[in-house]
Structure 1
Amino acid sequence: MSTLQAPQGELIKDSDTANFMADVIEASRTVPVIVDFWAPWCGPCKQLTPAIEKVVMAANGRVRLVKINVDENQQLAGQLRVQSIPAVFAFFNGQPVDGFTGALPESQVKQFIDRVSGMGGPSPIEEMVTAGTEALEAGDFQNAEAIFTEVLAADPENLVAFAGVIQGRIKSGDLDAARQMFASLDDDTRSKNEFAGIRAAFQLADQAGDAGDVAELRAKVDADPADSQARFDLALALSGAGRNEDAAAELLHIVRHDRAWNDDGARKQLVTLFDAWGPTHPLTVRTRKSLSSLLFS
């Protein structure tokens, strides 16, 4: 099992009055703890507890569950004023912070646990995804892929991690492998926002292949600076060569001097570049600011 996903025994445990301080109060100082008061004879408990366990396991360490049998721990139940069961309390930083009574549907249980788990900050998987993204942006593609692969071992449905692996292949120049991985996904998944940058990157790669030679296009633009098509093609070729800042500069030139060209084609191409680079990439931020200045000046 991956180190990113705690075994069930660490996330879900039975406890009692004697261990309540350690299992709930002290443990909640580092991660939110859900306490489920139940009894073997309680019908609604038999519906609720499996739903809570399922959602807690899916939270991948952002929250823990402690189960207390009220028949065996009546004094503890009395101290917490448990009047009917199932009764669920959430503890964080040693204090009760939320709760409910009765058997809720799984969707509402998930809403409750999502709310509570958010108090404890990012989960281990979320932290790993952040680390992988930072490695990817820093150009450390091998380390980024290793991190994202570990995330997928623990959470196979993590689309951000899967997209990160594909992005690493694209940025390292292994476009064929990236296309194969992307093609392995179903149509619905490929259309999701997590893959917007990948779709844009493939579009840019295809455009660059048809654009022509950078030196020839530069000469053509120098000979006729008003030739927006040549400048646009130059921008595509520069992008394909990895010269993203130069590509953006050529497209901004078209927006500045020939905004209406090709049905606002230069601005639209800049948006594709932004999608490929990512919304927080420094070049996206700078270029978007320059574009805004041109559009609203």
Structure 2
Amino acid sequence: MSDIMGQNSLGNGSGTVSPAEVIFDTTTQTFATDVLDASMQVPVIVDFWAPWCGPCKQLTPILEKVVLAARGAIRLVKMNIDDYPEVAQQLRVQSIPAVFAFKNGKPVDGFMGALPESQVRDFITRLVGDVGPTPAEEMIGLGLASLQAGDLARAAQAFGAAIQHEPGNPSAVAGLARCYTESGDFERARQTLGLVRPDGKNHADIKAAEAALSLAEKSAELGDTSELLARIEQNPKDHQARFDLALALNAMGDREGAVDQLLISFEYDRKWNDEAARKQLVEFFDAYGPKDEITLSGRRRLSSIMFS
């Protein structure tokens, strides 16, 4: 496949471990060795589960992901209480999923129920401290820095490596899609956005990448801005000319100028073309990101006009 990712490899990151090294099943007979003895070296968390337990099926993949991200600082041991109920009974497990953390041969923490990934990460952090960014997060950081520097090839390689570590990662998928968008390969950008995992479709980075792609596709259809400027000079209320000029200015990197043109149009006639100026401003803000200075000032100015 010929694309901006090129042929160079960024590698797989450092400090990775295989699942077999830190995640395995245990039995009543091997529990002392797998958990109590092992916890003398590193913390061990035990996931009590059963095949019929729906929440267990939600929690276990999250536990596995977070434990792997800790790169050997903690182990996950899974115990099927249908096959091996004795330990769960001794620990007075009332419902599953139930998770217990062991250190130095003793239970020190735990929780019941299917927690979201953020809370599972907090639970692991309490046990082992901050283990730093995951390999995927490291690659995403490199990708963002390269993208900002204009090195699309290196950025695409970094985001691609992050996707290899964490398939469907929203930030990685969005970053790679932006690389294709900025290179003009809009079809590949749209295909890349389709790689995001189901729970990441509404992620802020994905929404921003979708908005950036939409803007790029619209801008590609525009020509020279001199004609648009002439039309506006002749008729300041030529809304279509201002709208097209805003898209062109945005494509050239003049975000402030693009926002200005749409705000002027909206102030002249809010309802023009079914509030097209306001809707386009919202798309700009989505593409720029919620913390961007132009987004913040633009939203304030838009609100001032709307409520004046």
Give yes or no for TM over 0.5.
Answer: yes
Amino acid at match of 2:269: D
> CA contact under 8 A between 2:175 and 2:209: conserved in structure 1?
no
**Cα offset for 1:214?**
0.7
Residue in structure 1 matched with residue 237 of structure 2 by the alignment: 226
- The answer to whether structure 1 residue 138 and structure 2 residue 123 are counterparts is no
CA–CA distance in structure 1, aligned partners of residues 288 and 135 of structure 2: 23
2:188 is the counterpart of 1:180: yes
Q: Is the 1:15–1:67 contact (alpha carbons within 8 Å) kept by the matching residues of 2?
A: no
Q: 1:202 to 1:267 in 2, by over 3 A?
A: same
1:242 Cα deviation from its structure 2 partner: 2.8
Q: CA deviation at 1:253?
A: 1.0
Question: Matched residue of 1:15: which SS?
Answer: helix
Tell me, yes or no, if structure 1 residue 127 matches structure 2 residue 137.
yes
State the distance in 2 between where 1:214 and 1:20 align. 68
Higher helix share: 1
Matching of residue 96 in structure 1 with residue 108 in structure 2: yes
Displacement, 1:246? 1.0
What CA distance in whole angstroms lies between the structure 2 residues aligned with 1:95 and 1:82? 9
Would you say the 8 A contact 1:89–1:98 is kept in 2?
yes
Aligned partner of 2:65 in structure 1 is: 58
Name stretches of at least 5 consecutive residues in structure 1 with no aligned partner.
25-32, 38-43, 69-76, 101-107
Aligned counterpart for 1:192 among listed residues 170, 194, 201: 201
Partners of 1:2 and 1:248 lie apart in 2 by: 41
CA contact (8 A) 1:132 1:147 kept: yes
**Residue pair 2:228, 2:241 contacting (<8 A) in 1 also:** yes
The alpha carbon displacement at 1:159 in A equals 3.3
Corresponding position: 1:21 with 2:29: no
Matched residues in 2 for 1:113 and 1:238: separation?
40
Give the residue type in structure 1 aligned to 2:176.
Answer: V
Question: How many correspondences in the alignment?
Answer: 260
CA contact (8 A) 1:53 1:65 kept: no
Match of 1:167 in 2: 178
Is the 8 Å Cα contact of residues 11 and 57 (structure 1) preserved in structure 2? no
Identical amino acids, percent of aligned pairs: 31
User: Aligned-pair distance for 1:244?
Assistant: 2.1
Instruction: Report the residue type matching 1:98 in the other structure.
Output: G
- Cα distance in 1 for partners of 2:279, 2:170 equals 26
Query: With structure 2 as the length reference, what TM-score do the two structures score?
Result: 0.66
Alpha-carbon contact 1:15-1:23 (below 8 Å) kept: no
Question: Offset at 1:54?
Answer: 4.8
Match of 2:162 in 1: 151
CA separation of 1:135 and 1:186: change in aligned 2, threshold 3 A: closer
**TM-score, structure 1 normalization:** 0.68
Is the 8 Å Cα contact of residues 180 and 189 (structure 2) preserved in structure 1? no
CA distance in structure 1 between the aligned counterparts of 2:189 and 2:142, rounded to whole angstroms: 18
Amino acid of the structure 2 residue aligned with 1:164: G
Question: Aligned residue for 2:27?
Answer: none
Alpha-carbon distance in 2 for matches of 1:112, 1:184: 26
Answer yes or no: is the 8 Å Cα contact 2:47–2:78 preserved in 1: yes
Q: Distance in 2 between matches of 1:113 and 1:225?
A: 52
Unaligned runs of 5+ in 2: 1-10, 25-32, 80-86
| Residue 222 to residue 64, structure 1, CA distance change in 2 (3 Å) | farther
In 2, Cα distance between the equivalents of 1:113 and 1:224? Answer: 55
CA separation in 2, counterparts of 1:112 and 1:284? 30
Distance 1:83 1:239, change over 3 A: closer
Cα shift at 1:223: 2.2
- AA paired with 2:228? L
Q: What's the CA shift for 1:206? A: 3.2
